Copies of this chain bind each other. A is one copy, B any other.
């Protein structure tokens, strides 16, 4: 870990807290208030969204946008879009026909608090509003920028992105996956949204493809660190600490980098990747310090 910057996690946690608070204000503003005969759908959307959570993807959008002096209102709208999209994926993943989880962020999952049909529809509605938020002129005065955000998010979240990863994950317990397949699964299922979150900052800042590519590389590695530590927690932590069921990967016979390399091997791999993530940020100055602190912070997380 000696090439990683020292543990300035207090500032990181403060910045994450600020981003979380600000994106929640934006979410409060952009999500419909419950009204009409169909008010139950708005209630379910809000139940799923306002359940706490780290708001890691919004933090990435805000931090990466900050590298290019993007107007914070715009960054927060893009951050809100990625958070509603991420939340839809959780609501659908928790369904009985998918991962069948009763607990999420320490509370009943949406299909438990409401019902399955409402959870399917609330997920659909969150996915839909993500694009509505991005396409709105308040997100950026340039329609070209807004279209690029829409197209890139659709690609990252679609059948060759996050949904493709979820499809592979559904088969993972039946298949003898090696490290390459496990990494592909993770880069699709969780990595693609991290990539979009970071790229969105460069797109909003009209910073050019070199910056977009660099931040995508950072996000790819940061996402792998996130996923490996998630898999480590699944093996080493308790439901009390993580607020969700643990030990599920092993129960379902799913291959992860932890099951393939062991706890020590996976942790060592994660440290190597974390160093590479930080190195990708070399052209940026102190304004990238929080992004630099994130991978080592993730390595030490307990939930």
Contact = CB atoms under 8 A, between A and B. Distances in A.
Q: How many copies does the complex hold?
A: 2
A235 interface: no
Contact of A159 (B45, B144, B147): B45
Given A38-B168, A127-B124, A143-B144, A132 B151 contact: yes
A159 B120 contact: no
Contact of A135 (B118, B151, B159, B188): B151
A97 B120 contact: yes
Contact of A170 (B32, B118, B164): B118
A70 interface: no
Contacts of A228: none
A37 to B, nearest CB: 5
B132 A155 contact: yes
A116 B97 contact: yes
A107 interface: no
Interface string A59-99: 00000000000000000000000000000100010010110
B41 A167 contact: yes
A131 interface: yes
Given A124-B92, A127-B127, A167-B118, A143 B147 contact: yes
Residue among A38, A95, A143, A158 with the highest chain B CB neighbour number at 10 A: A38
Given A98-B120, A121-B163, A38 B188 contact: yes
A257 to B, nearest CB: 17
A124 B163 contact: yes
A159 B15 CA distance: 32
A166 interface: yes
27 contacts: A37-B168, A38-B160, A38-B164, A38-B165, A88-B124, A92-B120, A92-B121, A92-B124, A97-B116, A97-B117, A118-B167, A118-B170, A121-B163, A123-B124, A125-B159, A125-B163, A128-B154, A129-B159, A131-B150, A132-B150, A132-B151, A134-B150, A135-B151, A136-B151, A142-B143, A143-B144, A147-B147
